[in-house]
Amino acid sequence: MIENISGKISNLNPATVTLETAGGVGYLLNITLPTFTRLETCVEAKLLVHESIREDAWVLYGFIDEEEREMFRALVGVSGVGAASARMLLSAIPAAELAGVIATSDTRRLKSVKGIGAKTAERIIVDLRDKIKTADLTLLEQSTASSPVYDEALEALVILGFPRPASQKALKKLFETDPAITVEMAIKKAMSMI
């Protein structure tokens, strides 16, 4: 198994990167948009690898960090979710945010990703809800959950159909800027931020 590949970036686009290793071998790795964004300014890189060995192909997937690779592996472990769908999900929703989307059973957000239908979204949530690490989501809730105004604004946004993780993120920014903000103003400003 290949754990990681380090080398000079010889070709980079939003879907793939070619890393030239010291031995002169170039490895083509499929990547997500967040990985592409972080590689844009780099000359060299070290990517974590996931290998997909099939009868007709040997495909490598490269990830900038362990969190993204672990989420990719969890997604491809779900029946009906292939590597292409997992990569599409991670390109549309960064790994940490995707963990929150799954933890809060936000099927609407999953279905907004091209190629993910209602049944697949439900299967992802059922299979992964208890397996994923939601430390980031828990920390976000703990850091701002002490305010009754925050709680009321958050519940209103969720009732209006906004995803809980995105609502929490927007409200956190608002309350850090203005701790004395009213419920109505917090809801209005958060709606324009989500």
Query: Does 10 have pLDDT greater than 90?
Result: yes
Mean pLDDT, the chain, rounded, equals 87
Query: Does 34 have pLDDT greater than 60?
Result: yes
pLDDT in tens, 74-92: 999 999 899 999 999 999 9
CATH numeric code, 135-193: 1.10.8.10
User: Which residue would you say has higher pLDDT here, 20 or 182?
Assistant: 20
Confidence grade of residue 13 (pLDDT, cut at 50, 70, 90) = very high
Query: What stretch(es) of the chain map to CATH 1.10.150.20?
Result: 66-128
Q: What is the CATH topology of the domain spanning 66-128?
A: DNA polymerase; domain 1 (1.10.150)
Long-range contacts from 46-53, C-beta under 8 angstroms, 24+ separation: 46/4, 46/5, 46/6, 47/4, 47/5, 47/6, 47/17, 47/19, 48/3, 48/4, 49/2, 49/3, 49/4, 49/5, 51/1, 51/2, 52/76, 52/83
Query: Does 53 have pLDDT greater than 50?
Result: yes
pTM of this prediction?
A: 0.68
Multiple choice CATH, 4-63, 2.40.50.140, 3.90.25.10, 3.50.50.60, 1.10.10.60: 2.40.50.140
Query: Does 144 have pLDDT greater than 50?
Result: no
Query: What stretch(es) of the chain map to CATH 1.10.8.10?
Result: 135-193
Query: What stretch(es) of the chain map to CATH 2.40.50.140?
Result: 4-63
pLDDT at 134: 47
